[in-house]
Amino acid sequence: MAENEIETAGFLEKDGRGTGRIVRRDSVNKQYGRQPSSHCSRVVKIIKNKISSDLLAGLTVGLTAIPQGIAYAVVAGLEPQYGLYSGFMGCFVYFFLGSVKDVTIGPTAIMALMSQKSVEEYNSDFAVLLCFLTGCVTMLFGILQLGFLVNFISVPVTVGFTTAAAITIASSQIKGLLGIKGKSNEFLESWISVFEHIKETRYQDLLLGLVTIFLLVLLKIANEKISKKYKNQSSLSNNDKAIKETFRIVGLGRNAIVVVLGTLTAFIFEQYNMCPFTLTGEVAGGLPPFKPPPFSTNVINKNNETEYMPFEKMVANMGTGIISVPVISVLETIAIAKAFAKGKTLDATQEMMALGACNIAGSFVRSMPTAGSFTRTAVNNASNVKTPLGGIFTGLIVLLALSLTATFKYIPKSTLAGLILTAMFYMMETHEIKLIWKTKKTDIIPLVVTIFGCLFLGLDLGIIVGIFVNILFVLYNAVRPKITKEEIMISDQEVLVVRPEQALYYPGAEYVRELIMKSSKTQTKNLIVLDGTFYTKQYKYINWFPLLHVGMWDIGLFDTLD
């Protein structure tokens, strides 16, 4: 081979004896610090890989968001298109302001249920205005850095609230599963309505709903079993990898699959002039109008007359929802963001600002209140999303669906009911309840109080009652701190050591004093030592030490107390 050919193919390196050896060009580049000419192409390849991963994740999440959005709009008492209106703006805004690539903002079951009360009594304008006010309050929380307030909602209260919300939503969907009439989404009213109309059950709807639930559970279990079976990726053949990937995609898109199957079933029957199922009906298509949220509205009063309602009256009719909805929205989103931050420091203030902006912007396109969705965020993560760009693709898929709403009228209500019931079953945190019972049994009390409060008083009041009961437990621990007593020998003298197991605050000062005095009276020959490992420097607490000193002096136990 000629020398110029060698130089073209690789690199000719000669030594002092005139001999040479061929060295690969990339090794020479590495040796002498020269960058490979393909560096830019590698960067482009990495970007393409990330974009392709984000595109696949966005498509998968979008196909999950469409049926969920329609279902949650039904839960909120809104027309189905409102679920799609709520599903795209949050994705776009969070791309610019959010900090966790996996988080997906949109309609959730809890937000839908908390919006339902105002919508059922009045109209959709209340849901849109509530979305705007939720964004404003959340933004204010972020500006004032009030994220610490969420810490007052303990884990037992949160688990109780989530469980009660799941039970309430599931109860409201029983009528849809059975194909019977009923409007109320409250727990008691839902079951009363079911039993009043139980004889009107449409067995075709019931069968389709049960098949939907069966398929959803089957696809989820199959995906989990296949993933477990083919866990070791390195030892898999190409066929095994294909099987695993197929089941993974099917498992992630199972919501869309069952809705498509249900819709096709209804459509086929419709072509033969048969209508055995209760259908969703006409869904308004096209993009929502971009305009400010309604600060006034017209409602139908009890006399079936149109009544003008100004902004202040709309706000008054929303009641505690103006505060409770933003708080729960923040709680949902922060909890999800922490779960998927993967050990990275999370800026709660930034997340609140992002969530507030998502709701404010969403209200301009007729969105109901939104929050971080655990289901769609988990799907996003499982789809191997690389950057927040996946949210943009999700939003575009939802926007595309708005042009296909003509087919949505064939979606059976029992299919949506089955989808929601299955989601609520997995939403109930039974594993957390078991963990709370094992770790600290007294925490079951605020948990149970929260569940029953939310079921029978409503979510707004129920969580307030749960927080109040939990605060009472915290205050009780401050008033009655845990104290241990231990007898030890020091210099042949028996000493009684009184040791607080937690930091002491002034409400518990008198209790500790009485305990020491009581111990001194029953064991007058012993010296009593108060172990101050957990003392806090609070004046009102320290102030009672002289009283303790006087009490010990009066009984003649010892002259000084150190």
**pLDDT higher than threshold 80 for residue 529:** no
Adjacency order of strands within the sheet including 483-490: 483-490, 493-500, 527-530
Is residue 10 in a domain?
Answer: yes
Q: Which residues are within 8 A (CB) of 60 and not within 5 positions of it... i.e. 6 or more apart?
A: 249, 252, 253, 379, 380, 383
Which residue segment(s) compose the domain that 508 sits in?
A: 483-554
pLDDT of 479 over the 90 cut: no
Instruction: Compare 123 and 543 and report the one with higher pLDDT.
Output: 123
More confident position, 144 or 524: 144
Q: What band does 558 get if pLDDT is binned at 50, 70 and 90?
A: very low
Is residue 121 very low, low, confident or very high in pLDDT (cuts 50, 70, 90)? Answer: confident
Tell me if 448 is assigned to some domain.
Answer: yes
Asked if 370 contacts 103 with a C-beta cutoff of 8 angstroms, the reply is no
Residues 259 and 387 in one domain: yes
**Rounded-to-integer distance, Cα 138 and Cα 348, Å:** 11
Given a cut of 70, whether residue 528 has pLDDT beyond it is no
Query: Of 6-20, 105-119, 538-552, where does the model show the most confidence?
Result: 105-119
The residue with greater pLDDT, 121 or 211, is 211
Question: What is the pLDDT, as a whole number, of residue 267?
Answer: 92
Local structure of 368: helix, strand or coil: coil
**Is 503 a residue whose pLDDT tops 80?**
no
Specify the pLDDT at position 533. 60
Flag whether 370 is in a domain: yes
Q: Check whether residue 181 and residue 311 sit in a common domain.
A: yes
Ranking 263-267, 324-328, 534-538 by mean pLDDT, the lowest is 534-538
Same domain (yes/no): 446, 322: yes
Domain identity same for 249 and 382: yes
Examine residue 425 and state whether it is found in any structural domain, yes or no. yes
**Structure-token match 């845990």, residue found:** 482
In a domain, 28, yes or no: yes
| Residue 39 forms part of a structural domain | no
- Burial of 487 (C-beta count, 10 Å sphere; 0-12/13-18/19+): exposed
Q: Can you read off the two tokens belonging to residue 64? A: 């999950």
Same structural domain for residues 144 and 13? no
- The number of distinct structural domains making up the chain is 3
Confidence category of residue 18, pLDDT binned at 50, 70, 90:
very low
| % of the chain beyond a pLDDT of 90 | 34
pLDDT value of position 557: 42
- 203 with 90, same domain: the answer is yes
For 547, the 3-state DSSP assignment is helix
What local confidence, expressed as pLDDT, does residue 47 receive? Answer: 72
pLDDT tens string 257-302: 999 999 999 999 988 888 889 888 888 888 899 999 999 999 887 7
Q: Is the pLDDT of residue 520 over 60?
A: yes
What pLDDT is recorded for position 242? 84
Mean per-residue pLDDT, 321-329: 91
DSSP state of 544: T
**Same domain, residue pair 358 and 504:** no
What is the Cα–Cα distance from 334 to 340, expressed in whole angstroms? 10
Arithmetic mean of pLDDT, 175-195: 85
Q: State residue 10's pLDDT score.
A: 43
- Statement to judge: residues 126 and 231 lie in one domain: yes
Residue 41 belongs to a domain: no
CB 149 within 8 A of CB 141: yes
Confidence of residue 523 (pLDDT cuts 50, 70, 90): low
Query: For 360-382, what is the mean pLDDT?
Result: 92
Residue 399, pLDDT > 70, answer: yes
Q: CA-CA distance, 377 to 95, in Å (whole number)? A: 14
The pLDDT of residue 39: 56
178 pLDDT higher than 50: yes
Kindly indicate the confidence band of residue 32, based on its pLDDT and cuts at 50, 70 and 90: very low
Claim to verify: residue 393 and residue 527 sit in the same structural domain: no
- pLDDT at position 552: 46
Asked if residue 499 and residue 365 are part of one domain, the reply reads no
Given a cut of 60, is residue 255 above it in pLDDT? yes
- The mean pLDDT of 169-186, rounded to a whole number, is 85
Reported confidence tier of residue 439, pLDDT bands at 50, 70, 90: confident
Sign of the alpha-carbon torsion through 398, 404, 406, 409: negative
Work out the pLDDT band at 3, boundaries 50, 70, 90.
very low
Looking at the structure, tell me whether residues 411 and 521 fall in a common domain: no
- State yes or no: pLDDT of 194 exceeds 50: yes
Q: What is the mean pLDDT of residues 486-503?
A: 73
- Per-residue pLDDT at 384: 82
Token pair recorded at residue 254: 């199972």
What does the pLDDT read at residue 396? Answer: 95
Place of tokens 């830019």: 40
Stretch 461-484: mean pLDDT:
86
Categorize the per-residue pLDDT at 319 as very low, low, confident or very high, splitting at 50, 70 and 90: confident
Pair 19, 62 in one domain: no
The predicted model gives 101-108 an average pLDDT of 93
